[in-house]
Amino acid sequence: MEPTVTIITTTYNIFEKGQTDDFNLLLSLIDRQTYPKIEHIIVDNASTDGTLELLKNYKNKGYLNFYSERDTGKFAAFNKGIMRSKGKYISFVSCDDFYHDITAIADVVNFMEAEQADFSFSPAYCRHPDGFVFLFEPAIYNVFQVMPCARQGMFFKKSVLEKERYFDEKFKMMSDFDLIIRLMMKKYKGMHFPGNFTTYKLGEKALNNQQRCLDETKLIYMKNYRTLYPLNDETLEAMVMVSDFPKPLLEKLAQFFPPQDKEYFMDSCEQMHKIRIEAMKQQRK
């Protein structure tokens, strides 16, 4: 028997934000998925612009269930969705993202069931607000330095999210990064799904609040790594700005990968450091 899959989407005033076409596309492509047991939960932040009427219309047609009440941010809304979900597997997509492959959910579920995976990650197309599209390839060996993959291209076991107490709601911008780090450090089984099935839009909120993202990343590093290595402001600044991690800390973090992968992990971290330094030089020109 196929397990249920829950897709969780947050909304807020999608008419006012000009997101109705994207939202309609998301729902249309979910409806066309070949997988038979999909639950789509919308968690709405008490919209005031006609969004609720649109959601009611879709609910009456059997597309989704929705809940509308004020929340304290996207990840708090995701947590509400998890608590209300019935799926064995859960995915999180925004109202301007979509699955461009109609066999995606069937393929991912079959893959995760076969591999007995706790979570999966995959390549994804990212639509930049400036109008170009790029492919975000997972870089799981850099997971402790930077966001290693697109959250929209991930699926999680609900039981794992429950066991790890959901997203940490004090992080308003980077809580998905914190969650992935925690899953890796607890050695849950994460598997790379090679298919590319997601197209997502890079959030303008993150682009316009880069300093807050950096500040939250520092807190995430401190939260997760403080028992492995003594961290101070100077060290954290270098880690956040150019992925310059102290080697003793990298040695400790390497233990969360198989021993035979240690050299590759260390090389990947050094390469990320060099890439970030070069990127900073280009920004200063």
CATH of residue 27's domain is 3.90.550.10
- Residue 220 domain-assigned? no
Burial class (CB in 10 A: 0-12, 13-18, 19+), 75: buried
Is 172 in the same domain as 284? Answer: no
Phi, psi (rounded to 5 degrees) for 154? -115, 150
Q: Is the dihedral of CA 60, 61, 62, 65 positive or negative?
A: negative
Is 168 in the same domain as 46? Answer: yes
- Residue 212 domain-assigned? no
Is 241 in the same domain as 163? Answer: no
Is 114 in the same domain as 237? Answer: no
Question: Please, how many CA atoms are within 13 Å of residue 278, restricted to the half-sphere of its CB?
Answer: 6
- Residue 221 domain-assigned? no
pLDDT value of residue 204 = 79
Q: Which of 155, 174, 204 is the endpoint of a domain?
A: 204
Is 33 in the same domain as 165? Answer: yes
- Residue 129 domain-assigned? yes
The DSSP call for residue 43 is E
Alpha helices in the chain (DSSP H): 20-31, 51-60, 74-84, 104-115, 158-163, 175-185, 204-208, 210-225, 233-242, 247-253, 262-284
Distance of CA 80 to the CA centre of its chain: 16
Is 131 in the same domain as 46? Answer: yes
Per-residue pLDDT of the chain (285 residues; tens, 9 = 90+): 899 999 999 999 999 999 999 999 999 999 999 999 999 999 999 999 999 999 999 999 999 999 999 999 999 999 999 999 999 999 999 999 999 999 999 999 999 999 999 999 999 999 998 999 999 999 999 999 999 999 999 999 999 999 999 999 999 999 999 999 999 999 999 999 999 999 999 987 888 889 999 999 999 999 999 999 999 999 999 999 999 999 999 999 999 999 999 999 999 999 999 999 999 888 776
Say if residues 91 and 54 touch (Cβ distance below 8 Å): no
Is 257 in the same domain as 197? Answer: no
Is 119 in the same domain as 83? Answer: yes
Is 174 in the same domain as 74? Answer: yes
- Residue 253 domain-assigned? yes
pLDDT value of residue 133 = 96
Q: Which of 204, 239, 274 is the endpoint of a domain?
A: 204
- Residue 214 domain-assigned? no
> Residue 250 sits in which domain range?
226-285
- Residue 131 domain-assigned? yes
- Residue 219 domain-assigned? no
Q: Which of 170, 204, 238 is the endpoint of a domain?
A: 204
Is 179 in the same domain as 241? Answer: no
Is 22 in the same domain as 129? Answer: yes
Is 239 in the same domain as 192? Answer: no
How many domains does one find in the chain?
A: 2
